Amino acid sequence: MPHPSTILEIIQALDSNARSIVEFFSRIPDRPFFDGTPEQWSPAHHLIHLTAASRSVQSALRSGKLPLHPTGSSRTYAEVRDAAAASLGATPRDRLRDMGRTVVIPLGASQADLVSAFVSTSAELRAAASSWTDDTLDRHAMQHPLIGQMTAREMLLFCVVHERHHLRLVQTRVGNT
């Protein structure tokens, strides 16, 4: 997949990710979709996590309260991807397990409910991102729980990386249904 750079390319990548995620997760049979624990995530856990991450970034982008980034300079997609991998690798497994336990499947949620929630939240993230210019994305800062301070552009690039990562994890776990 190409490495996005501009706001338009990032939005297109997020849209492409969303279509791939919805198509794949919608085809997973019900039992394996929910078969997991907070320590060993099911596809449902992954989808809830992606939805929450998108909601958080979307909310921050719309807040109008993002501080200025000290350098006003963003890393590339590849640099953000590598920083994410390094941060994940450097984080103690116990901390990751504790963070993972916060992802809870709502009682009575259906696969369609979870896919629908992702669809709408993903669209809201893309809409929030579309109100930003390339220049303003580089000037404002956001905080990632593992990577630390990032520009708004870097956070959106992380969203692209993050979604692709979780899609690959689930594809590997359940196979390409």
The mean predicted confidence, pLDDT, of the chain is: 95
Q: What is the pTM of this model?
A: 0.95
Residue 165 has pLDDT above 60, yes or no: yes
**3-state DSSP assignment of residue 71:** coil
Structure token pair of residue 108: 């009575």
> How do residues 31-84 score in pLDDT, each as one tens digit?
999 999 888 999 999 999 999 999 999 999 999 999 999 999 999 999 999 999
The DSSP symbol for 150 reads: E
Which residue type is seen at 10? I
The confidence score (pLDDT) of residue 169 equals 95
Residue 63: which residues within 8 A CB-CB, separation 6 or more? none
- For domain 7-174, the CATH class is mainly alpha
**Cβ(89)–Cβ(165) below 8 Å:** no
114 or 98, which is more confident: 114
Q: Over range 153-177, report the average pLDDT.
A: 93
Query: Which whole number is the average pLDDT over 7-14?
Result: 98
Q: Do 117 and 163 meet the contact criterion of CB atoms below 8 Å apart? A: no
